[in-house]
Amino acid sequence: MSTAPTAQEAASTLDRIRELESQYLLQNYARYPILLARGRGCYAYDSTGKRYLDFLTGIGVNALGHAHPRLVKTIRQQAGLLLHTSNLYYHDYQGPLAERLAKISGLQRTFFCNSGAESMEGAMKMIRAHGRKVNPEKYEIVALHNSFHGRTFGALSITGQEKYRKDFEPMLPGAKFVPANDIVALEQMVNERTAGIVMEWIQGEGGIQQMSTEYARKARELADRFDALLVFDEIQCGVGRTGTHFAYQMADPVVLPDIMVAAKPLACGIPLGVIVANQRAAQSIGAGMHGSTFGAAPWPAASPLNFWISWTGCCRTSSKRAITFACGSRTCGGTSRSSRKFAAGG
């Protein structure tokens, strides 16, 4: 029977791992001196057995907590059947998952990739391809100050924070920045050279700043007027966090984008990103223009289908659109005893 390591043994293990990482890993992370060993529900446990209430959730990823029984069952079953094939063949999950995304987003077509940054890169390719079909000089992208769209080169080029861009400049040409919720500035910036407008409905890195409905509607109007694509970045603020499936659905009536990108909690810890587009935007990408080796292979694609089932079953939205994650909490009378035990970390 295994026993928990002593504090001295755990400290020794942590020291050994830190030494290995300091010698062999790229030193781009400033880690906390904690060696996490397992998780259960909303708690994470370190190598000494100490329990932590996990508010970070893997930077907005573990939407159903750690070791959710439905997800564990799905992952185990699929791992024993088929992990990966490639996108040269069909499998059971991409079609149903794309259908689910179309129904909940109000858009029509999905491309699957592995992360939020990849989904933004793909959206930028759609913007550029769309603009080029209109005019080779139509390539500018209007984004917002204090935005954050990812760390890959294209996504970083439209991230409106100098601290992230300065070490890699010059960035991609054509990126223009305007203040959030400044309708006049937006009107002055968007023109015939604009191929796309990109915004987060709620900025996270920008200080939790929400876009006004009026601002989003103006962006929609300008995109239509100048034949540009409107992109909503839902990587951080979407997938249930606002009490709607996506943050843009808080507006009444909804302001629909041409493209929506999402990732993080979609597969509850397995890498998955999506680009969801209307027909107009989807037409910008033809056969061979974009692709992904791993995007929505059988194993990662099976998990989000179970996520949406669990999310719908375990959560309810109030009239004020404030979501309650009630897997096991007293606010959801229909949860089972095992679900309550799971949510409590037992």
Q: Is residue 38 part of a domain?
A: no
Q: What is the mean pLDDT of residues 224-231?
A: 98
* Lowest mean pLDDT segment, chosen from 157-161, 254-258, 265-269: 265-269
DSSP bridge partners of 53: 43
66 confidence band (pLDDT: 50, 70, 90)? very high
Q: Is residue 5 part of a domain?
A: no
| pLDDT 10s digits, 281-338 | 999 988 888 878 777 777 778 877 776 665 555 544 433 443 333 333 323 333 344 4
Instruction: Give the per-residue pLDDT at 173.
Output: 94
Q: What is the mean pLDDT of residues 258-270?
A: 88
| pLDDT 10s digits, 31-41 | 999 999 999 99
209 confidence band (pLDDT: 50, 70, 90)? confident
User: CA 87 to CA 208: how far, in whole Å?
Assistant: 37
User: CA 224 to CA 145: how far, in whole Å?
Assistant: 22
Residue 344: pLDDT over 50: no
3-state helix, strand, coil in the chain (%, to 5): 40, 15, 45
Identify whether the C-beta of residue 303 lies closer than 8 Å to the C-beta of residue 100.
Answer: no
**What CATH number does the domain containing 203 carry?**
3.40.640.10
Instruction: Give the per-residue pLDDT at 270.
Output: 83
Residue 4: pLDDT over 80: no
User: CA 68 to CA 62: how far, in whole Å?
Assistant: 10
Structure tokens at 279: 């027909």
Q: Is residue 286 part of a domain?
A: yes
Mean of all residue pLDDT scores within the chain: 85
DSSP code string of 140-178: EEEEEBT----SSHHHHHT-B-HHHHGGG-S--TTEEEE
Number of domains in the chain: 1
Q: Is residue 133 part of a domain?
A: yes
Report the chain's C-alpha Rg in angstroms.
Answer: 22
The answer for residues whose C-beta is within 8 angstroms of residue 329's C-beta and 6 or more apart is: 335, 340, 343
123 confidence band (pLDDT: 50, 70, 90)? very high
Instruction: Give the per-residue pLDDT at 266.
Output: 81
Q: Is residue 111 part of a domain?
A: yes
Nearest one of 346, 317, 300 to 75, comparing CA atoms: 300
Identify whether the C-beta of residue 141 lies closer than 8 Å to the C-beta of residue 174.
Answer: yes
User: CA 156 to CA 170: how far, in whole Å?
Assistant: 11
Identify whether the C-beta of residue 186 lies closer than 8 Å to the C-beta of residue 219.
Answer: yes
Instruction: Give the per-residue pLDDT at 179.
Output: 96
Instruction: Give the per-residue pLDDT at 3.
Output: 65
Instruction: Give the per-residue pLDDT at 2.
Output: 57
* Lowest mean pLDDT segment, chosen from 154-168, 169-183, 227-241, 329-343: 329-343
Instruction: Give the per-residue pLDDT at 275.
Output: 96
Alpha helices in 209-334 (DSSP H): 213-225, 279-282, 298-314
Pairing of strands 209-210, 202-203: antiparallel
Instruction: Give the per-residue pLDDT at 322.
Output: 39
| Higher-confidence position of 319 and 343 | 343
- Rounded to two decimals, the pTM is 0.85
Nearest one of 306, 299, 318 to 242, comparing CA atoms: 318
User: CA 70 to CA 62: how far, in whole Å?
Assistant: 14
Structure tokens at 91: 């499998």
Q: Is residue 325 part of a domain?
A: no
Nearest one of 249, 136, 143 to 193, comparing CA atoms: 136
Q: Which SS3 state, helix, strand or coil, does residue 47 take? A: coil
| Higher-confidence position of 271 and 186 | 186
Percent of the chain with pLDDT over 70: 86
Percent of the chain with pLDDT over 90: 54
Instruction: Give the per-residue pLDDT at 310.
Output: 58
Instruction: Give the per-residue pLDDT at 195.
Output: 97
Q: What is the mean pLDDT of residues 47-51?
A: 93
| Higher-confidence position of 318 and 155 | 155
Q: Which SS3 state, helix, strand or coil, does residue 79 take? A: helix
Boundaries of domain holding 198: 84-305
Contacts for 254-257: CB closer than 8 Å, 24+ residues apart: 254/106, 255/213, 255/216, 255/217, 255/220, 256/106, 256/107, 256/220, 257/107, 257/220, 257/230, 257/231, 257/232
Residue 207: pLDDT over 90: no
Residue 240, sorted as left (phi over 0), alpha (psi -120 to 50) or beta, turns out to be left
User: CA 236 to CA 234: how far, in whole Å?
Assistant: 6
* Lowest mean pLDDT segment, chosen from 82-91, 123-132, 173-182: 82-91
Residue 6: how many other CB atoms lie within 10 Å: 10
